[in-house]
Amino acid sequence: MRILLGVSGGIAAYKAVLLLRLLREDGHAVRVIPTASALRFVGAPTFEALSGEPVTDEVFEDVAHVPHVALGQGADLVVVAPATADLLARAATGRADDLLTSTLLTARCPVVMAPAMHTEMWEHPATRANVATLRERGVTVIEPESGRLTGADTGPGRLPEPEEIARAALAAAASAGPSTPGDGPPGDLSGRTVVVSAGGTREPIDPVRFIGNRSSGRQGAALAEAARARGAAVTLVAANLDDAVCGAARAAGVVVVPVETTAELRDAVRAGASEADVVVMAAAVADFRPADVPDAKIKKVPGEGPAPLTLVENPDVLAELAHDRLRPGQLVVGFAAETGDADGSVLEHGRRKALRKGADLLAVNAVGAGRGFGAPTNAVTVLDGRGEVVTEAAGSKREVADAIWDAVTKTLPGI
Ligand SMILES: Cc1cc2nc3c(=O)[nH]c(=O)nc-3n(C[C@H](O)[C@H](O)[C@H](O)COP(=O)(O)O)c2cc1C
């Protein structure tokens, strides 16, 4: 892929160097386009040496090749990391006062921006409005992390790690990539773009241990393959799926984006969702993650017993998607893997979840005791957002997938 890496003038500009390395190691041709301010943080020779391409912020260099137009036109993906408050403002208002902003106006490929700034700048109504405008225009704006900022202060505004930005950017490119609307077999999802998450997320405890769950991802993979067979462009965000399951999905024409943690899954799903007509959250995401993950393996000290494990809550990816609707008219489908207990049956728990999450459809299935996770068959009851039964299906995971798509196509506007 031909990637343009825009870098604007924030303290996190040094992380763009690591992002550049990751993208190059992944086999992409990368040209860095810094702003003048970015070059005050990181010198052009660093970007030039690592990319093997010329680096300038100027539109008046190499004018014979008209770079202010040609670079954007020839790109498969534009990533801006870090994106300063100023860069977001200039992009949102259509300014073209340097090579990077001119390129943003001429690029017709996916554009991904990773903002980084102080919390006050990030939360200012002007920045919020600029981000909303960019998102409306189809730009994927990655949420900054909460954490240590330039000085001793902390809060939302920190640039995510380069690995996460690379993953989200490649996912955005993939959802606009080889599996494109209209190139699939004709079917009732022709021309539609779909993102399906599958598998179970893993939350690291230390570099060798994790908290996980028993989801095999086969139901999600079946949903992705069924959607592709019905004509959709499909991205499968695959949380720790077997290579064989990913390989089968790829062979069916599905773009597979592997992820490990809930945070990675959230970024990848949201990156794809900004282009999607339907998002299906079939993955079993961890509700909690360890608060602190040491760099080294936690050692057993004989006689001392285990150190207490403090957990913090993960974002509710499904509820966020249902709330945010990253594309107008988007249909959001959730899954509820339930075991009945003293507080209610599987269906009663599913009904409560349907009301709580705000998704359009919720596929409820009983798990545990050999059912659901890892089994070749499944049985689901599909509820609408009010908890009313829409349909019931049982059989192979592919048959269940098709029954869910039948329910989706009846609900999706314009089908
Ligand atoms: C030490 C330092 C750190 C800065 N960090 C940031 C930052 O993280 N995010 C931001 O939006 N602006 C930051 N700024 C302000 C920008 O550099 C300034 O708004 C500049 O005009 C941005 O230009 P650009 O968007 O063309 O790169 C910082 C400035 C300095 C001096």
Ligand 1 geometric centre to CA of 43 (Å):
15
Q: Is the CB of residue 165 below 6 angstroms from any atom belonging to ligand 1?
A: no
pTM over cut 0.85: no
Kindly give the number of the ligand 1 atom that is closest to the alpha carbon of 34.
27
Mean of all residue pLDDT scores within the chain = 90
Q: Rounded mean pLDDT of 303-324?
A: 93
What number does CATH give the domain 193-411?
Answer: 3.40.50.10300
Kindly give the number of the ligand 1 atom that is closest to the alpha carbon of 37.
27
Query: In sequence order, what are the beta bridge partners of 393?
Result: 380
What percent of the chain stands above pLDDT 90? 66
Q: Are 356 and 369 in contact (CB under 8 A)?
A: no
| pLDDT (tens digit per residue) in 168-222 | 888 888 766 545 555 555 689 988 999 999 999 999 999 999 999 989 999 999 9
Same fold, 2-175 and 193-411: yes
Ligand 1 geometric centre to CA of 117 (Å):
8
pLDDT the model gives residue 370: 56
If you average pLDDT over each of 5-19, 239-253, 329-343, which comes out highest?
5-19
The structural domains of the chain, with segments of one domain joined by +, span 2-175, 193-411
Q: Rounded mean pLDDT of 38-53?
A: 97
Q: Is the CB of residue 362 below 6 angstroms from any atom belonging to ligand 1?
A: no
Ligand 1 geometric centre to CA of 13 (Å):
10
pLDDT the model gives residue 319: 96
Q: Is the CB of residue 116 below 6 angstroms from any atom belonging to ligand 1?
A: yes
Q: Is the pLDDT of residue 33 over 90?
A: yes
| pLDDT (tens digit per residue) in 393-412 | 999 999 999 999 999 999 88
Write the secondary structure of the chain as one string of H (helix), E (strand) and C (coil).
CEEEEEECCCCCHHHHHHHHHHHHHCCCEEEEEECCCHHHHCCHHHHHHHHCCCCCCCCCCCHHHCHHHHHHHCCCEEEEEEECHHHHHHHHCCCCCCHHHHHHHHCCCCEEEEECCCHHHHHCHHHHHHHHHHHHCCCEECCCEEEECCCCCEEEEECCCHHHHHHHHHHHHHHCCCCCCCCCCCCCCCCCEEEEEEEECCEECCCCCEECCCCCCHHHHHHHHHHHHCCCEEEEEEECCCHHHHHHHHHCCCEEEEECCHHHHHHHHHHHHCCCCEEEECCECCCEEECCCCCCCCCCCCCCCCCCCCEEECCCHHHHHHHHCCCCCCEEEEEEEECCECCECHHHHHHHHHHHHCCCEEEEEECECCECCCCCEEEEEEEECCCCEEEEEEEEHHHHHHHHHHHHHHHCCCC
pLDDT the model gives residue 371: 54
> CATH 3.40.50.1950: does it fit domain 2-175?
yes
| pLDDT (tens digit per residue) in 345-393 | 888 888 998 889 999 999 998 776 555 555 678 899 999 999 999 999 9
Q: Rounded mean pLDDT of 152-167?
A: 86
pLDDT the model gives residue 15: 97
Q: Is the pLDDT of residue 35 over 60?
A: yes
Least confident of 65-74, 93-102, 137-146, 338-347: 338-347
Q: Is the pLDDT of residue 112 over 90?
A: yes
Distances (CA, A) of 314 to 74, 210, 266, 318, 319: 39, 15, 10, 11, 12
Q: What is the dihedral of CA 369, 371, 372, 378, to 10 degrees?
A: -170
Q: Is the CB of residue 38 below 6 angstroms from any atom belonging to ligand 1?
A: yes
